[in-house]
Amino acid sequence: MGRLEFDVDGTVFTADVLPGEAPESVDALLELLPLESTLEHVRWSGYATWVNIDEVDLPDLPRENHTVYPSRGDVLLYPGYRNEQEILLACGPTCFKSPAGELAGNHVATLDATRDELLSLEESTLREGAKPIAIREV
């Protein structure tokens, strides 16, 4: 099983990827890496953060291992079926949605982080604004 590293403004999280559950989506995500961008607080979804990847040319991806209600630590790849493309990091109770309504993202990885670490990440993006993020395969 592969691993990812999420470096958020100097704080590093790792994640296990889920190739057996979302093979095409995992492959598409790995093709994007390394990725440097900004991590922002979600606007509609609850306790989560997201990375806009609209500038990336993703292949047409099927719905695989998709969910509207990710669990804490779940990493979703949303290929933009009804809204902008993004990577969502669920930090607590989340219902993935946008002005277009509920969205189902492909669960591609799970962060190895504690509840408190994820809540701190979510709260810091809410209170302090966007943070630099680098996502790499390790």
Q: Report domain extents, the chain.
A: 3-137
- Asked if residues 112 and 76 have their Cβ atoms less than 8 Å apart, the reply is no
Name the strand (E) or helix (H) holding 131.
strand 131-137
What is the per-residue pLDDT across 101-136, written as a single tens digit (0 to 9) for each?
A: 999 999 999 999 999 999 999 999 999 999 999 999
What is the per-residue pLDDT across 60-84, written as a single tens digit (0 to 9) for each?
A: 999 999 999 999 999 999 999 888 9
Tell me the fold of 3-137.
Answer: Cyclophilin (2.40.100)
* Structure token digits, residue 82: 């009804």
Q: Does pTM surpass 0.85?
A: yes
Q: Give the burial string for 114-127 (b: 16+ CB within 10 Å, else e).
A: eeeebeebbebbee
Could you give the CA distance from residue 68 to residue 138 in angstroms, rounded to a whole number? 28
